């Protein structure tokens, strides 16, 4: 298929294009030079903004916790219900939409690539079944590894090569893409009835600390040459004063940092940016964290912005979910995954008039506006924890428009409003910067070379919006801007038009990325002996039943990687 998009106002930060009128040529699912086209369909994009397809680095869209969330919240299924259209499935759900709704809604906003950021390795077969069922978007999943008994034992013994060999096997076996750490070591401590606060509290039995886990897995990540840095949900999430733990986490790999790429990616940083000593004096730690990020190149972060919504929280941080259950009094599910990880689910409503919730709302935006370099930041809500991804355009307008922020500030808790720096920050994102935090930066952090840009050879994932920056005041007309970003005029995935004016056209399916990483054969053989012995001792499943075959993925897209020393 050939497609020529003409007269578009293009924002493509990876290629330095900032609002230029450029034609975009597409052939066989890739961006090409215009002379290569022979019989192209022409799409006149006069007055439309063009950006690469959106890339969401962190959204809980598939897997056992998501499905349990659907079971826990039948009331959520009825919040948005639309009947079946020809060639499509019904639209059902809101904070935990169905798999088909998830794909349609991302396409409606111009997003084409989404990462499921936390899958229990033992249950990743379930995750892939749901990823297979999500239409349109490309995707990948990150296995949780910080409380895995194999990992903890190898790190306790200082056996980095053994840990790297095990994790290369794990990533290949479960078809994972990046290493995820969730409150490193905390789920294992929770299994012993204990908790970890800072990064120097020892994990029971294994007697290694979160600091040692983070440093060890950073070294493993480097040894395996994985495309993305380790992704860290910091310890002590959700607690007043936890910004200090987040700073400690950032600092703990300074001496290991690489010059040409980030060493760690802090996920949903808003939830780990709290000052104060209790809920009564909760304050923002965003200025301190932003100051650190501004002066160091080894850290990136995604936002985890809170929305004022009745939503569903879910995370592999089981201890925190129990605390939230006790704080809110809401129904609750916790789950333990043998020898690997755990998690929990709690419904929660963020209220404008709540002092704590209002402070949370201001913290995320403060951080986003105080970080000077947008290449270090990705826009997320930690869907659905801070709010549903379908409301991303609301956050985009808060970044683009100080007037949009002022309108919401006027409606929140008065004490929170007085305490926040947000009203004194006059920075407004440009469309170029918005394209960075929603496209270019997440693609670059993930190491997805074909995503997040419109250069020659890139995947032909393109979003067009009815938003003319020459005639629209982004700050004053923020409601119109929000609607334009909510309903993309055209979403093009792999060169095919998959949505028009926010309506999905058909049920096509995207790729699933995973890393096929190899290590030295001597290390591979050594860990195979460990696997057989320990599976017999610790697991209720046989080792042979654990790996997922490549044929189990609808459209497998492996990245072939040779680890260091191979």
pLDDT digits (tens, 9 = 90+) for 413-459: 999 999 999 999 999 999 999 999 999 999 999 999 999 999 999 99
Say if CB 247 and CB 292 are below 8 A apart. yes
Confidence at 350, pLDDT banded by 50, 70, 90 = very high
Say if CB 99 and CB 134 are below 8 A apart. yes
Question: What's the pLDDT at 498?
Answer: 96
Q: What is the mean pLDDT of residues 254-269?
A: 91
Say if CB 139 and CB 537 are below 8 A apart. no
**Mean per-residue pLDDT over the chain, rounded:** 95
Tell me which H or E stretch contains 169: helix 160-174
Three-state secondary structure of 174-185 = HCCCCCEEECCC
Tell me which H or E stretch contains 327: helix 318-328
More confident residue, 34 or 401: 401
- Choice among 78-92, 161-175, 376-390, 481-495 with the minimum mean pLDDT: 78-92
Q: What is the mean pLDDT of residues 280-292?
A: 97
Q: What is the mean pLDDT of residues 392-416?
A: 97
Look at residue 565 and tell me whether its pLDDT is greater than 70.
Answer: no
**What's the rounded Cα separation, in Å, for the pair 303 and 265?**
11
Question: What's the pLDDT at 226?
Answer: 97
Return the CATH number of 54-446, one of 3.40.50, 1.10.3470, 1.10.287, 3.20.20. Answer: 3.20.20
Within 10 angstroms of residue 525's Cβ, the number of other Cβ atoms is 10
Cis-peptide, bond into residue 384, ω within 30° of zero: yes
| Phi, psi for 237 (deg, rounded to 5) | -55, 140
Q: For 287-337, what is each residue's pLDDT tens digit?
A: 999 999 999 999 999 999 999 999 999 999 999 999 999 999 999 999 889
- Choice among 53-67, 246-260, 421-435 with the minimum mean pLDDT: 246-260
**What's the token pair of residue 338?**
């043998």
Confidence at 261, pLDDT banded by 50, 70, 90 = confident
Question: What's the pLDDT at 566?
Answer: 62
Q: For 72-127, what is each residue's pLDDT tens digit?
A: 999 998 888 887 787 788 899 999 999 999 999 999 999 999 999 999 999 999 99
Look at residue 236 and tell me whether its pLDDT is greater than 70.
Answer: yes
| Phi, psi for 448 (deg, rounded to 5) | -90, 95
Q: Is the pTM of this model over 0.95?
A: yes
> Is beta strand 49-52 parallel, antiparallel or unpaired with respect to 2-12?
parallel
**What's the token pair of residue 139?**
């995707």
């Amino acid at each position: 298929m050939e497609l020529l998009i003409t007269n578009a106002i293009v924002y493509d930060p990876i290629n330095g294009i900032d609002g230029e009128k450029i034609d975009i040529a597409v052939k066989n699912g890739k961006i090409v030079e215009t002379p290569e086209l022979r019989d192209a369909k022409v799409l006149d994009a006069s007055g439309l903004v063009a950006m690469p397809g959106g890339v969401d680095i962190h959204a809980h869209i598939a897997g056992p916790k998501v499905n349990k969330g659907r079971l826990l919240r039948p009331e959520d299924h009825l919040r948005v219900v639309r009947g079946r259209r020809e060639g499509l499935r019904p639209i059902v759900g809101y904070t935990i939409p169905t798999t088909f709704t998830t794909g349609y809604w991302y396409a409606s906003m111009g997003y084409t690539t989404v990462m499921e950021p936390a899958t229990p390795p033992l249950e990743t077969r379930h995750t892939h079944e749901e990823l297979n069922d999500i239409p349109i978007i490309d995707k990948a999943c990150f296995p949780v590894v910080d409380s895995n008994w194999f990992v903890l034992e190898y790190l306790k013994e200082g056996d980095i090569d053994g840990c790297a060999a095990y994790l290369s096997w794990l990533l290949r076996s479960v078809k994972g893409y990046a290493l995820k750490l969730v409150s490193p070591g905390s789920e294992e401590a929770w299994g012993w009835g204990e908790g970890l606060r800072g990064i120097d509290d020892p994990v029971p039995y294994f007697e290694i600390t979160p600091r040692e886990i983070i440093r060890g897995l950073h070294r493993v990540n480097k040894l395996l040459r994985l495309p993305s840095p380790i992704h860290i949900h910091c310890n002590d999430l959700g607690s007043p004063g936890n910004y200090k733990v987040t700073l400690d986490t950032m600092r703990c790999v300074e001496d290991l940092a690489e010059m040409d790429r980030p060493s760690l990616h802090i996920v949903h940083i808003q939830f780990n940016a709290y000052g104060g000593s209790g809920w009564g004096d909760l304050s923002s730690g965003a200025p301190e964290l932003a100051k650190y990020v501004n002066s160091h190149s080894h850290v990136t972060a995604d936002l985890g912005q809170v929305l004022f919504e009745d939503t569903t929280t879910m995370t592999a941080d089981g201890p925190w979910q129990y605390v939230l259950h006790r704080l809110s009094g809401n129904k609750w599910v916790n789950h333990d995954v043998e020898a690997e990880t755990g998690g929990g689910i709690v419904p929660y409503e963020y209220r404008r008039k709540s002092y704590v919730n209002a402070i949370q709302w201001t913290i995320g935006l403060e951080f986003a506006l105080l970080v000077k370099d947008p290449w270090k930041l990705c826009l997320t809500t930690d869907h659905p924890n801070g709010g549903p991804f379908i409301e991303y355009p609301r956050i985009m307008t808060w970044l683009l428009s100080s007037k949009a922020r002022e309108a919401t500030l006027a409606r929140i808790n008065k004490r929170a409003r007085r305490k926040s720096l947000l009203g004194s920050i006059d920075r407004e994102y440009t469309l170029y910067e918005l394209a960075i935090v929603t496209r270019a930066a997440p693609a670059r952090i993930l190491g997805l070379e074909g995503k997040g840009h419109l250069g020659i050879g890139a995947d032909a994932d393109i979003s067009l919006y009815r938003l003319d920056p020459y005639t629209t005041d982004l700050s004053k007309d923020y409601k119109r801007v929000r609607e334009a970003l909510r309903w993309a005029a055209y979403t093009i995935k792999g060169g095919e038009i998959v949505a028009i004016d926010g309506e999905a056209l058909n049920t096509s399916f995207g790729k699933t990325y995973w890393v096929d990483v190899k290590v030295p054969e001597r290390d591979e053989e050594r860990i195979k002996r460990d696997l057989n012995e320990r599976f017999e001792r610790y697991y209720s499943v046989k080792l042979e039943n654990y790996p997922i075959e490549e044929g189990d993925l609808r459209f497998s897209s492996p990245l072939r990687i040779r680890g260091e020393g191979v």
